Structures are given as structure tokens and as C-alpha cells.
Amino acid sequence: MGLKCTVKVVLVALAAAWSAGTAQAQSRLPVKFIMDWAFEGAQSIWTLAEERGCFSKRGVDITIDRGFGSGDTVSKLAAGAYPIGVSDFNTVVQFDAKNPDRRLIAIFMISDGSPLSVVTLKENKITKPQDLVGKKIVDPVGEASRVMFPAFARANNVDPASIEWVTVAPDLRQPTLLHKQADAAAGHMFTVYNGLVQLGVKKEDIVVMRYAEWGVDFYGNAIVTTKAWADEHPDAAKAFAACAAEGIKASRADPNAAIASLKKHNPLLREDIELASLDFSNTIAIGTPNALKNGVSAVTHERLERTVKQATAALDLPAPPLDDLWTDKYLPPRSELMLAK
């Protein structure tokens, strides 16, 4: 074969490969995905799954955007600004109870244990929920711990009306507590705890009251969408469930790689802080005894019914039908959801 023929063959092959790659990229479904919070340690399950090609090989061209709290996420999902995202499951319960014509549904339970909490400083001498009576708690409006505080309060014989809320932007929550403009902060325990550490607070001077340890056994974060979108794009819904599981397992196996993938979205983060945040998430919220035994997203009807009733009763809302709140039809096989112990 002459040189001209050889060059021609190579060019034809390259053109064919480029064409095939372009066609494959064009066939992927573009999906804007909103997280519950900023690009921090616990959210690295998504950036790692994206980086390792989990979504692209399943036909999804994903764009990951930061969130501003679960309340903000569910509002954006319901408004159609995003088709799918991450929210605290109990915020979804509240939203569905108030908006029966715009209900959202969870398709994957990320956190078997809820990280909702109230955090304070040891010097404030608050060690139990009853010590919060008459105190000021800081948190943004719509943040899941604030939304579900009445359930935590009533489970511990605290009148929710006895609390004064200090409303701030998310980045001012920890400084407000540190500067004594509030007695405690409500929020995702990893975010508040690590935020205080970054501000120079010693770990031993931080007091965390996690709702799950004070009588409120809620599920935590979930992948949430609308039933209409999932029905229209079942393969994409399955891709998100499968990639959530892959991202969780990969981040547990190689947390340094997870944080490295996160830095591409947030280059200013401190690796030591975010590694600690990821470890908190993977061991306390995700890797519960139930998840280690039965795999992630092992939702039972009994627990789902109990927590939905507890949440809606505390908020004086009607309980939405469970089938409107949760479905397991998009989950991968249980064998793919098991965690290494």
C-alpha cells in the first residue's frame, strides 16, 4: 500500500472514530443536577462518579450544580428549574404534604441515618434539647434541620415556639454562633461542625445534638425528582441510582480520589477538612449498621411509615401516601448496593 493510500485509510479511520464519538455524545441525555449543598466532602460521591464516567457510560450528560439547602432544592425541582437533585427526605415529606398537586418522589435513599442536628459550643452549657428553651438558634430559612426542628423539639418535650430563630445566609451561620449572636446553630452536622473547626474552634469544644440520637429516626438525603420526569426518562433515573451507589462505594474505597475530584469544582477547599466531612458522611449517615448489613437505600415500609407520620404530625400536616414519596423501581440489583465492611 502506498503512502497516499495509508494516509487516506488513517484519515478515514479517524473521521469514523470522531463521528462515532460525536454521535455517542449527542445521544446522551443532558441533565442538570442540583445537590443539596455546596461542593464539600460529603458531595464528592457525585464528582467522583462523574469523573470516572459512571453517568456518561449510562447515557447521561450530567451538569452538577451546588445547592443552597434542601428547601431551596425542592422548590427548584418543583418549579422545573432542575429535573433531579438531592434533598433531605423529610423536607420532601413536608413539601409533598403542602403541595399535593406538585409532589416530588425519592428514588434513592443516600443517607440511612439523618445528619440533621443542632450544634452549639460547650461554653454555652447546652447539653440536651431541653436546654434550648428560650434560646436563639441560627440557620437559613428552608434548611432541613430548621424545617424539621418541630419534630426534634416535640420528641423531647420542647415547645417549638420557645425558640427564637436567627435567620442568616448559609455562610454566616457558623460565624454568628461563634460571635455569640446565637446560642446554637441548626444544620447538617458535618457542615456546621467542620465550619466551626475551620474558624478555629477546638473539636472538644463543640457539642452536637443529632436528631437521630434524640428520638427522631429520620432517613437523610435522597435523590429526588418528579414522577413525570422519572416515567419519561426511566434509564436516566436508573443511571442516577446506580451512580449514587458507585460514587458511595468508590469514595469509601478511595477518599483521597473523591476529594481530588471535588477540588476541580471547588479548588479552594481544605483537603483535611473535606476528608473529615466525607468520613463523617460515609460512617455516620451512610454506613449505618442497617446499610452495612442490607446495602445502601435499604428502605423498609415500616420505618418509612413511622418517620413520615412523625414528621407530618410535628408539623400539623397530613401524611402524603407513601407511594407518592418513595419508589424502589429504579434501584440497581441489591448486590450492587452492598457496602464493603
DSSP designation for 101 = T
| Cell numbers standing for residue 264 | 476541580
Say what the pTM is. 0.83
Which CATH architecture describes the domain 30-113+219-337? Answer: 3-Layer(aba) Sandwich (3.40)
Asked if the domains 30-113+219-337 and 116-213 are classified in one and the same CATH topology, the answer is yes
Integer Cα distance of 152 and 52 in angstroms: 39
pLDDT value, residue 14: 42
Report the greatest alpha carbon distance in the chain: 89
| Rg of the chain taking only CA atoms, in angstroms | 22
pLDDT on residue 188: 87
Among left, alpha and beta (phi > 0; psi -120 to 50; other), residue 317 is beta
Relative to beta strand 221-226, strand 84-88 is antiparallel
* pLDDT beneath 50, residues of the chain: 3, 5-7, 9-25
- The structural domains of the chain, with segments of one domain joined by +, span 30-113+219-337, 116-213
Cα dihedral 132, 135, 141, 146, rounded to 10, equals: 0
* CATH, range 116-213: 3.40.190.10
Looking only at the bridges linking them, the beta strands covering 221-226 and 104-109 are antiparallel
Q: What nine digits make up the cell of 235?
A: 434509564
